[in-house]
Amino acid sequence: MDFAYDDRVIAGISTPPGEGGISVVRMSGEGSFALADALFKGAAYVSGMAPHTLRYGKVTDPSGRVADQVIVSRMDAPRTYTREDTVEISSHGGDLASGRVLALCLSAGARLAQPGEFTMRAFLNGRIDLTQAEAVMDLIKAKSDLGARIAVRQLEGGLGDAVRGLRRGVLAGIAAIEVGIDFPEHGEVEGGMEALSEGLGRAMAEAGALASGYGVGRALRDGLAVAIAGKPNVGKSSVMNRLCGGARSIVDASPGTTRDVVEDRVSFGGVPVRLMDTAGIRGDPDGGVESVGIGLSVGRIGDSDLVLFVVDASAGLDAADLLALSHVPNEKPTIVLINKSDLPLCGGFGPAIAARLGSEGHKVAYLDGSGTFGPDTAAPDAAGALAVADAVGPPEKWYALCVSALTGLGFDALDGAVRHALGLDGLDPEGVGVVTSARHRDALDRAVTALREASDAIAAGMPADCAVEGMRRAARAFGSITGEDFTGDLVGEIFSGFCVGK
């Protein structure tokens, strides 16, 4: 490694700032136990404690004044987070107690840990690979259950194992070619050119599949942006409030009351969502403020991953709906919420509205478990609605669903519709193929490009060694994901995004 590293004992506060039950100061590195002896007074010195045990005692300053009562844990290398000797001092919570303990560790000779430095040592000491180190941070920052499950899978080594397998395959290919070059009497390439070519093709397909999972992976990690759109007074704010479980947007019977973008965070079936209620879009805004709101709405629709387009079942579709609809691109995943379906005379409007959207050029799958949804029939249940969606075939980008923001009717089916529209149905968060990091995606793309060049060289009938250069680049790209090939810059960049004390 091209990497000079200061491996003195490091110390940092591992618990978040603020008030809490306890705070933990962690020290790691050779000499941690002796260093802790300088400040911990208990029935035994830390250096005299048995490995992997706890002790109650006091932390004192050099004059003997007690800073706090603490529990000290001694963990011996290599069975620790960092694979180094580690001491954790649990003090009372709050910033002052832990701050005093940390200051005493530093004055006893420890160096203040950089952000992520404990995890960086776990990586440098070979306990975890880079993908696992990155998963630690993803897990800490996870905003959804699914995001956390993907991070745990990565932490367990799922992605690292897959990429290491790819790298090993490419390195074996290079070795086979080099044996052929060094010992021509062994034949040109062990296993033949055809096998080599097939191997490259398989690696390319596998790496490409991993890279293409990035969009979904990113969405699950960082959340999706969902815009609620439609002409004024169709019930957008009411839909937002129903989804957020509280009064978040202004609901008013007069059109044009939501003049800017109101945001909230919710979860759809475990997927974190930033929900944006946008100003109603209409042709004759009644003043400057609303025009600005409309401009913002159109921008938000463009930026969103999914649009919830609200129409009023009691009114049917009119020119104003179609005008608002013209701001939603056909390729944008969209769920048309046919709202106010609790009102009388709305029965049968759902299919009619869905059909009308179809005639406007939007391929819409109408989700209705009962088939004859109306005020007097049962609400579409989620399972029934999705059975209809399944019958439609692979996920469409547009779905229509009868709901009532007033009574909650139909909202059960929305979770499933969202997952369908975003193509998240087949996603297995415990599968290895969920790439959540742009760094991993870029490296996989580089590997695919390099493998394609190698494969093209072979297909063009060039000698096998012409493929080696591309294969080496691919192996380096794979190695940069797991950390088998890394530079100091890369490691610095990755760990600088961590929190202090982790």
Query: Which residues lie below 8 Å from residue 285, measured CB to CB, with a gap of 6+?
Result: 256, 291, 294
Is 320 or 458 the residue whose CB approaches ligand GDP more closely? 320
Minimal CB distance residue for ligand GDP:
235
Residue 278 binding ligand GDP, by CB under 6 A: no
For residue 194, count other CB atoms closer than 10 A to its CB.
Answer: 10
Distances (CA, A) of 90 to 9, 236, 250, 325: 18, 50, 47, 58
Is 71 or 406 the residue whose CB approaches ligand GDP more closely? 406
Torsion of CA 163, 166, 168, 173, to 10 degrees: -160
Is 231 or 362 the residue whose CB approaches ligand GDP more closely? 231
Distance from C-alpha of 263 to C-alpha of 306, rounded to nearest angstrom: 14
Distance from C-alpha of 238 to C-alpha of 234, rounded to nearest angstrom: 9
Distance from C-alpha of 138 to C-alpha of 142, rounded to nearest angstrom: 6
Pick from 147, 169, 199, 235: which binds ligand GDP (CB under 6 A)?
235
Residue 429 binding ligand GDP, by CB under 6 A: no
Residue 311 binding ligand GDP, by CB under 6 A: no
Residue 380 binding ligand GDP, by CB under 6 A: no
Is 311 or 475 the residue whose CB approaches ligand GDP more closely? 311
Distances (CA, A) of 172 to 177, 199, 468: 9, 10, 11
Distance from C-alpha of 159 to C-alpha of 272, rounded to nearest angstrom: 22
Gyration radius of the chain's alpha carbons? 30
Distance from C-alpha of 250 to C-alpha of 252, rounded to nearest angstrom: 6
Residue 332 binding ligand GDP, by CB under 6 A: no
Is 291 or 487 the residue whose CB approaches ligand GDP more closely? 291
Pick from 80, 98, 238, 436: which binds ligand GDP (CB under 6 A)?
238
The residue range among 31-39, 55-63, 339-347, 469-477 that interacts with ligand GDP, by the rule CB under 6 A, is 339-347
Is 357 or 402 the residue whose CB approaches ligand GDP more closely? 402
Residue 219 binding ligand GDP, by CB under 6 A: no
Selection from 446, 485, 483, 484 nearest residue 494 by Cα: 483
The residue range among 98-106, 149-157, 283-291, 335-343 that interacts with ligand GDP, by the rule CB under 6 A, is 335-343
| Residue type at 73 in one-letter notation | S
Is 71 or 292 the residue whose CB approaches ligand GDP more closely? 292
Residue 344 binding ligand GDP, by CB under 6 A: no
Give the x/- contact pattern for ligand GDP in 75-94, rule: CB under 6 A.
--------------------
The residue range among 82-90, 104-112, 234-242, 345-353 that interacts with ligand GDP, by the rule CB under 6 A, is 234-242
Distance from C-alpha of 241 to C-alpha of 266, rounded to nearest angstrom: 11
Distance from C-alpha of 144 to C-alpha of 274, rounded to nearest angstrom: 12
CB 240 within 8 A of CB 258: no
Pick from 160, 223, 232, 285: which binds ligand GDP (CB under 6 A)?
232
Is 223 or 230 the residue whose CB approaches ligand GDP more closely? 230
Residue 259 binding ligand GDP, by CB under 6 A: no
Residue 315 binding ligand GDP, by CB under 6 A: no
Pick from 91, 339, 436, 455: which binds ligand GDP (CB under 6 A)?
339
Identify each DSSP E strand in 416-467 by its residue range.
none
Cα distance between the two ends of the chain = 23
Is 177 or 346 the residue whose CB approaches ligand GDP more closely? 346
What's the angle, vertex CA 263, arms to CA 260 and CA 268, rounded to 5?
Answer: 140
- Looking only at residues 391 through 410 of this chain, which bind ligand GDP when binding is defined by CB under 6 A? 404-406
Which residues pair with residue 115 across a beta bridge? none
Number of residues that bind ligand GDP (CB under 6 A): 21
- Which residues are at the interface with ligand GDP (CB under 6 A)? 230, 232-238, 251-253, 257-258, 280, 339-340, 342-343, 404-406
